[in-house]
Amino acid sequence: MSEQDITVPDLGGADEVEIIEITVSVGDAVVEEDPILTVESDKATVELPAPMAGKITAITVKVGDKVREGDVVGRLDVAGGAVTEEPPAEPEPAAEEPAAEVPPAAAPAPAAGGSRQEVVTVPPLDGLVDIPVIEVNVSEGDTVEVDDPLVTVESDKATMEIPSPFAGKVGKILVSVGDKISEGDRLVEMTAVDGGDVAAESSQPASAAAPSAPQAPAPAPSAAAPAQTSNELPPAGAKVHAGPAVRKLARELGADLSRVKGSGPKGRIIKEDVQAYIKQHLQQAQSGGGVSGGTGTGIPGVKLPDFSQFGEIERESMSRMHIATARNMERSWLNVPHVTQFDDADITEMEAFRKSLKAEGDKRGVKMTPLPFMLKACARALADMPQFNVALDLDKQEIIRKRYIHIGVAVDTPAGLVVPVIRDVDKKGLWDLAREVIELAEKARDKKLKPAEMQGACFTITSLGGIGGTAFTPIVNAPEVAILGISKASMKPVWDGSAFQPRLMLPLSLSYDHRAVNGADGARFTNRLSELLGDIRQLLL
Binding site for ligand CAO (CB under 6 A): 369-371, 409-412, 417, 437, 441, 462-466, 474, 486, 488-489, 506
Residue whose CB is less far from ligand CAO, 309 or 328: 328
Closest CA to 47 of 107, 76, 88, 5: 88
Could you tell me which residues are beta bridge partners of residue 55? 29, 77
Cα separations (Å) of 255 from 152, 199, 227, 529? 16, 29, 14, 51
Closest CA to 439 of 359, 506, 372: 372
Residue whose CB is less far from ligand CAO, 163 or 370: 370
Q: Which letter, b or e, does each residue of 149-168 get, where b requires 16 or more Cβ atoms within 10 Å of its Cβ?
A: bbbbbbeeebbbbbbbbbbb
Cα separations (Å) of 282 from 79, 222, 252, 255, 277? 38, 23, 16, 12, 9
In 103-245, which ranges are E strands? 115-121, 131-136, 143-144, 149-154, 159-163, 168-173, 180-181, 186-193
514 annotated active-site:
yes
The SS3 of residue 382 is helix
Smallest distance, ligand CAO to C-beta of residue 358, A: 9
Cα separations (Å) of 411 from 407, 444, 512? 13, 7, 20
Is the Cα torsion angle 337, 341, 347, 350 positive or negative in sign?
Answer: negative
Q: Which letter, b or e, does each residue of 260-274 get, where b requires 16 or more Cβ atoms within 10 Å of its Cβ?
A: bbbbbeebbbbbebb
Comparing every residue's Cβ against ligand CAO, the nearest one is 465
Residue whose CB is less far from ligand CAO, 137 or 341: 341
Q: List the catalytic residue out of 241, 281, 338, 514.
A: 514
Residue whose CB is less far from ligand CAO, 122 or 433: 433
Q: Active-site residue numbers? A: 514
